[in-house]
Structure 1
């Protein structure tokens, strides 16, 4: 599995731009100069017409810098949900703005701490003019850090025919957004409360569960790439410290015990990279293999990132939480990302179910 020269050039361009701008200030140049928000959007809707491997490159670089930009929520979840719905009218109206970065979207999906469609309790009942009135509370909704609100809100809710997706105006009557305090301050989240909010059906009523399954696979694939990038950066910081930190008259990296731990971390990073790339290649070339590949990637990359982030803290002398160093930020991102879209055990259970085995 190899990336193309164009994708490596994309990596270089994204890394260079992120080095020039801080935090949310990078959103405009990243979207206008590189087209990051529209990498997976078809050309007919104003995007680059790329695929999961292009998104993989972007997410790896965002992970390295712990970027708070809303690419996962907007360019992956929202774009993926609209495309999965096959709603040509909604795609033609909403995707150009999302691809340009002029608008930012989010997918309100999880309830009761779960992304499984069985956990969805929000209800959509018939409303005026063919609309639906949605009532329910959505948790762990990826938010736009440092900016009030989002522009496109897609909500999963139940109708008489099953789980369906709806477009809801973020500022509509009966819609309330509640920012929440997260352990990982680099990934903003919000709770959305809907009380009879008017929504427009996206795609086919009752097919929302199928759309969400596909979106979850794309989200796990993109998040796995982000985890790889962050874990790789953790390892780089730790290797640099081990070379420069002198104890007992020699760099600590020269001690065999430290070498072994760094070697183990390297193996974890490279194994995670293979799993993440495998999912991205499956998304582009073998969609039938994507559910399994995405579950593998989410499980492997979550655990690898957590382990490497923990070693970063330990091999920096147990630095813990101090604002003078980013080690704790990576550790918090590792913990938060590991739970996002379901913890590793959940995805291993998915794999076991697919293989007809009992989950372990």
Structure 2
């Protein structure tokens, strides 16, 4: 059975990530991105990659990385989800890195490990493991492409054989498109030809499937961290907001809603940890765990953000309060790497149940 508990190493990593984010990020910066999308946020990634080495967390030690695994990456994403940090960790250090590791690349991974460059997988952000098509012409929406130095493009060659190619920034055309969540902007990407092939055929398909599968499993941890922030922030607000001469947290209706949300997040935590654990162990049931995690945690994060918004009352509706940044990230994540409905259909197929 997969161990769902956090190890001492994972808790130590969490403390380091949280402390670094507290020094380099504030909610005001995230909110400003919606009005000023050109705001420079590179310092956050430089702190995480340079001070903690998170860019190379999943890169083998032989290639200059830390050689850690999905469980450690899940803890990082919980903390990034709490702050909706505008970093390329999920798109570059998890998804693109997993594709390169699976493809057997040894040229680009050492540069990714140092944080010198970032990478992105050029597929629609709604694609999911086992349900994607090679790029043909312009691809949108692509997450992590804006500012990425390396673009991994799966294309179809002769006879439909898939080729996974690495393009430099000057070998693609990227154009920003309107994004609900400006802390993870989306882009329209058009490959201009060229590129270097790093895998083809079955190996290329396996690399893309592994990358999307890792993204699905670990996105659940980001959603978990976001939801936990929503619950904790709302509980603290309910203790101090006074209405009718009493803290609103003393009213039974508020207590029930917060208790229900707590129980939802306990289940979300178990689901996210199981997905990360089975991925780390290479468990045959990891695809089931990934589908369950995305079907459950996507909706749980949106529910937590909606409850936080409503229970904060009028102040929750203001631009100045950070709860709107969590709701936007939660809703965007709900659509990323496959919707909950798609994952429920995948789950039905995986466990031999009829899909409706």
Equivalent residue in structure 1 for 2:296, among 285, 294, 300: 300
Partner of 2:355: 359
Contact 2:123–2:135 under 8 Å retained in 1: no
Q: Secondary structure at the match of 2:284?
A: helix
Q: What are the equivalent positions in structure 2 for 1:87-106 lying under 5 Å apart?
A: 91-106=105-120
Q: Relative to 1, partners in 2 of residues 1:200 and 1:327: Cα closer, same or farther, differing over 3 Å? A: same
Corresponding residue of 1:2: 5
- The answer to whether the 8 Å contact 1:217/1:295 transfers is no
Please state whether the residue corresponding to 1:28 is helix, strand or coil: helix
Q: Mean alpha-carbon deviation: is it higher for 312-321 or for 77-86?
A: 312-321
Distance 1:213 1:318, change over 3 A: farther
Partner of 1:152: 150
Please give the alpha-carbon distance, in whole angstroms, between the structure 2 residues aligned to 1:110 and 1:44.
Answer: 32
The structure-2 alpha-carbon separation of the partners of 1:209 and 1:281, relative to structure 1 and needing over 3 Å to count, comes to same
Cα distance in 2 for partners of 1:188, 1:139 equals 12
Q: Where in structure 2 are the equivalents of 1:146-225 lying within 5 Å? A: 149-159=147-157, 160-172=159-171, 175-195=172-192, 197-225=193-221
Q: Secondary structure at the match of 1:157?
A: strand
Report the counterpart of residue 260 of structure 2 in structure 1.
Answer: 264
Q: TM-score, normalised by structure 2?
A: 0.90
- For the 8 Å contact 2:141–2:186, the answer to whether it is kept is yes
Q: Residue 321 of structure 2: SS of its match in structure 1?
A: coil
Counterpart position of 2:29: none
Helix, strand or coil for the counterpart of 1:93? coil
Residue number among 31, 45, 60 corresponding to 2:49 in the alignment: 31
Asked whether the equivalents of residues 134 and 162 of structure 2 are also in contact (C-alpha less than 8 Å), the reply is no
Q: 1:207/1:161 Cα in 2 relative to 1: closer, same or farther (>3 Å)? A: farther
Q: State whether residues 221 and 294 of structure 1, in contact with CA within 8 Å, keep that contact through their aligned partners in structure 2.
A: yes
Contact 1:68 1:186 in 2 (8 A): yes
Between Structure 1 and Structure 2, how many residues are aligned? Answer: 337
How far is 1:116 from its partner? Answer: 6.4
The C-alpha deviation readout for 1:138-193, integer Å capped at 9, x for no partner, is 1122226xxx6311110111122433311112202xx2111112011111111101
Check conservation: 2:234, 2:311, Cα contact below 8 A: yes
Superposition RMSD on alpha carbons, in Å? 1.7
| Inter-partner Cα distance in structure 2 for 1:65 and 1:189 | 19
Taking a change above 3 Å as real, the CA distance of residues 186 and 300 of structure 1, as seen in their structure-2 partners, is same
* 250-259 or 179-188: bigger deviation: 179-188
Kindly tell me: are residues 184 and 121 of structure 1, through their superposed partners in 2, closer, same or farther at Cα, counting changes over 3 Å? same
- CA 1:12–1:71 in 2, change beyond 3 Å: closer, same or farther? same
- SS of the aligned residue for 1:79 comes to helix
Q: 2:58 aligns with which of 16, 40, 43?
A: 40
Equivalent residue, structure 2, for 1:65: 83
Counterpart Cα distance in 2 of 1:31 and 1:119: 30
* Alignment of 1:287 onto 2:301: no
Q: 1:283-318: per-residue Cα shift (whole Å, max 9, x none)?
A: 112332211111111111101001010000110115
Change (3 A) 1:246 1:304: same
Change (3 A) 1:318 1:274: farther
- Aligned equivalents of 2:23, 2:114: Cα separation in 1: 20
Residues 205-230 of structure 1: per-residue CA shift (max 9 Å, x gap): 35433322221110011111011001
TM-score (norm: length of structure 1): 0.89
Structure 2 residue runs of 5 or longer lacking an equivalent are: 26-40
